[in-house]
Amino acid sequence: MRRSENGRFEMIGSREAVRVLYEDNHLLGLYKPAGMLVQGDRTGDYSLLEWAKDYIRARYAKPGEVFVGLVHRLDRPVAGVVLLARTSKAARRLSEQFRERSCRKLYWAVAVGTPRPAEGALTSHMVWNGKRALIVPAEHPGAKEAGLRYRTLERRDGLSLLEVELLSGRHHQIRLQLSSIGCPILGDRLYGGRAKEKTGPIALLAYSLTVRHPTRGEAVTLVSPFPGDWPWPRGKGAEARRGVDSSRL
Q: Which of 24, 45, 54, 75 is catalytic?
A: 75
Bridge pairing between strands 119-128 and 144-156: antiparallel
24 is catalytic: no
By the 8 A CB rule, do 233 and 226 touch? no
Q: Name the residue type at position 117.
A: P
d(CA 170, CA 133): 9
Tell me the three-class secondary structure of the chain, residue by residue: CEECCCCCEECCCCCCECEEEEECCCEEEEEECCCCECCCCCCCCCEHHHHHHHHHHHHCCCCCCCCCEECCCCCCCCEEEEEEECCHHHHHHHHHHHHHCCCEEEEEEEEECCCCCCEEEEEEEEEECCCCEEEECCCCCCCEEEEEEEEEEEEECCEEEEEEEECCCCCCHHHHHHHHCCCCECCCHHHCCCCCCCCCCCCEEEEEEEEECCCCCCEEEEECCCCCCCCCCCCHHHHCCCCCCCCCC
Is there a contact between 202 and 215 (Cβ–Cβ < 8 Å)?
no
Query: Active-site residues: which are they?
Result: 75
